[in-house]
Amino acid sequence: MLERRPSSHDDLIDHLVRSTALQRGEAARVVLDVLAYFDETYEEFVRRRHRELQSGGLVNAEIFERIAAELPHRAVAPPELSLRQLRRIVYG
């Protein structure tokens, strides 16, 4: 029989199981997904959003304006970046 090691997020997982219809495994996956989302650097965010918006049919002018508007609303906002700096993150 495998022993289940306690997670550092067990309290949060327990809370989600009690307060939602999620099963324990589903709640654990949600917690891990949220943590991964907040671990994303602003450079990774810019690249990911660029790919998502580009695949949605937007052109770069619209994409970089939208990303610039979204960045200040991140949990930990990066320094203010110019459109040129955003393009350099994506294209190098």
Give residue-wise pLDDT tens across range 4-43: 555 688 999 999 999 999 999 999 999 999 988 888 899 9
Task: From residue 24, give the alpha-carbon distance in Å to each of 10, 17, 35.
Answer: 10, 6, 17
To which H or E segment does residue 67 belong?
helix 60-70
Give residue-wise pLDDT tens across range 72-92: 988 777 889 999 999 999 998
**Is residue 2 packed enough to be buried (19+ CB in 10 Å), middle (13-18) or exposed (0-12)?**
exposed
